[in-house]
Amino acid sequence: MAAEKEIEGAQACLDAFMLAFNARDLVAWEKTFNFPSIRLASNTMVMIDGPGWHKPDLFEKSLGDGWHHSAWERREIIHAGADKVHIDTRFARYRADNSVIGHFDSIYIVTLEEGRWGIKCRSSFAP
């Protein structure tokens, strides 16, 4: 594949993103971004300027009743180049008993900046 190394880097970034999110590790989670980063969800665009923007209660609100963890269900490459990868994703949110809260389609744009892969933009149907 023409951009195999780049795809591996972008996918590793998404792995780290989900691992840190589920661990509720705000510092590690923010390290998976390339700032500024954009989030488009619930018909609202938010510019995330840098670390410290997210609030510690992020993991307790708006993730669904009883949210315990999330997991990728799909990660398909749309486009890949030397410094940017577009990924069509679907993730699910789960309760502690593994019952599903919801499934959400998203597109993530992961960029290589200063030698590091990070999430630059994400557009999601998640609330």
Written as tens digits, the pLDDT of the chain (127 aa) is: 558 999 999 999 999 999 999 999 989 999 999 999 999 998 899 899 988 877 767 777 667 778 999 999 999 999 999 999 999 999 999 999 999 999 999 999 999 999 999 999 999 998 8
* Statement: 4-124 belongs to CATH 2.60.40.420: no
Distance CA 92, CA 81 (A): 28
Among candidate residues 57, 104, 79, the one with its CA nearest the CA of residue 3 = 79
Report the 10 Å Cβ neighbour count for 85.
25
pLDDT for position 58: 72
Among candidate residues 71, 72, 84, 76, the one with its CA nearest the CA of residue 10 = 84
Q: What share of the chain is helix, strand, coil (3-state, %, to 5)?
A: 20, 45, 30
pLDDT for position 21: 93
The pTM for the full model equals 0.92
Distance CA 23, CA 30 (A): 12
Q: What does DSSP assign to residue 53?
A: -
